[in-house]
Structure 1
């Protein structure tokens, strides 16, 4: 199945349906950001610690990676950063353009995949913001390598991703109040489907999701040349049964090392 086309169409549909991660921030949020009062998320509920960012964002070159939807990018642009946002979904990028036009912001949008940043030069950015989205690609290691390539030495990568424990349980059973272990990690949301079910799925507006090991998520960053300098966990905001037992999202701050 063509993962890129399937997920691109699915996210366009999510915008049309008004899903939470596609809703633009308000004018009031942008006004506060222009005044220096701002915060963003890369997981679900918790805000990224302010100390993870430079004290001032004026002129800081930020890549919002797989981060369309009119949320992180406009806030950071309003705070003074030079922002580029990359996303697979054209309609998600249209949300960023809408906020930029509405509130007089300058930001650049690029339609593309998170694993191919060949349109950018080596060391082009000071900081990358990458909200939970690498669940939509099969292999995260090329993502970390590309992120390292386009960051300057000493540049910062702030990334959110899913704790793989979330994916071992049957999703439908969990929503009914039963924690039934069914899937292995790594795997995908379609790996257990029959040929007939795959045909139906390919005609749907559902996203294909992939579970990744913590080794690929964390050691993958280290192997790409990063050093971890911060980590926190988050949950679904009380919307999932697992919230009572464990946080299912992780955010990391990593710094690109000097290459000798």
Structure 2
């Protein structure tokens, strides 16, 4: 695949296909989850398994929340049912449609906006109190721009909650991993778009799967700090069951970062 293939276009179409296939991150929450959230009983995830600590959110009622690249009818509707004013921003029209389904079914107010997470020009400076950004920035090629835009659209004192992948998870030989052996094959910087042969890439494209880009921890964590955030929380998480690497380390990370009230 040529390096000039448009990352956003490919992954938008791929995530639309994942909705049709029923990928786990495209299945909307049920009415019982929304009913519980309205009672104050709720949790959401930035990474596959661990719920985000409730204290990371602070007070939600009446706060302006941006679900950044987080469509799929899962986290956004829960936060709206918990009392937040929620905007969902995502690259996939079909994923946004899942949020629309839940909103219509449950009578929730959700603002849905299609776009590229690297470009939040649809929003003015200081539009949100909190950004919820699950582990999805592996689907774009410039994560530092994501952090800069997130900083811009947050109000002073606002909070960015984000999940992301440890890049080591992208560097193993996938064929050997299926046989139970972990062996490094690729090196950083890594991208499914440019680091694989055409034959290797067909492992994903033949199934219509999104393609990923591994971002260094320097770009993930250091990029947030460079954008102006202060790191206020961190944890690691395992991947979904069946991931061999998770037998040895936690390949997902989550951060809580704060935009200072004054600079």
TM-score, with structure 2 as normaliser = 0.94
Tell me the residue number matched to 2:235.
232
Report the Cα distance in structure 1 between the residues aligned to 2:168 and 2:203, rounded to whole angstroms. 27
Structure-1 residue corresponding to 2:220: 217
2:18 to 14, 21, 34: 14
Pick from 174, 177, 181: which aligns with 1:178? 181
What is residue 45 of structure 1 aligned with on the other side?
49
Residues of 2 paired with 1:154 and 1:200: CA distance?
44
1:22-52 CA-partner distances (Å, limit 9, x unpaired): 0001100000001111110010000000010
Give the match for residue 38 of structure 2.
Answer: 34
The aligned length equals 259
Shift of 1:230: 0.3
User: TM-score of the superposition, structure 1-length normalised?
Assistant: 0.95
Q: Which residue of 1 aligns with 2:111?
A: 108
Q: State the alpha-carbon separation in 2 of the partners of residues 228 and 31 from structure 1.
A: 33
Give me the CA root mean square deviation.
1.7
C-alpha separation between the residues in 1 aligned to 2:36 and 2:198? Answer: 51
Q: Distance in 2 between matches of 1:196 and 1:227?
A: 43
Measured in 2, the distance between the counterparts of 1:168 and 1:155 equals 34
SS at match of 1:192: coil
Which SS does the other structure have where 2:156 is aligned?
Answer: strand
Equivalent residue, structure 1, for 2:79? 76
Residue in 1 that maps onto 2:253:
250
Matches within 5 A, 1:71-220: 71-194=74-197, 205-220=208-223
**SS of the residue 1:247 aligns to:** coil
What is the CA-CA distance between 1:176 and the residue it aligns to?
2.0
Is this contact kept in 1: 2:65–2:86, CA < 8 A?
Answer: yes
Contact 1:59 1:82 in 2 (8 A): yes
Instruction: Output the CA distance in 2 between the equivalents of 1:250 and 1:37.
Output: 24
Deviation at 1:196, TM superposition (A): 7.2
Could you tell me how far apart the structure 2 residues matched to 1:40 and 1:192 are?
33
Equivalent residue for 1:63?
66
Q: Distance in 2 between matches of 1:116 and 1:101?
A: 28
Given that 1:29 and 1:38 are in contact with CA atoms closer than 8 Å, whether structure 2 keeps it comes out as yes
- Verify the 8 A CA contact 1:6 1:205 in the aligned structure 2: no
CA contact (8 A) 2:204 2:211 kept: no
C-alpha separation in 1, matches of 2:12 and 2:242: 25
Structure 2 Cα separation of the partners of residues 200 and 27 of structure 1: 36
Distance 1:92 1:227, change over 3 A: same
Residue 25 of structure 1: SS of its match in structure 2?
coil
SS in 1 for 2:233: strand
Cα distance, 1:207 vs structure 2: 1.4
Shift of 1:199: 9.0
Q: Which region of structure 1 is more displaced relative to structure 2, 176-185 or 200-209?
A: 200-209
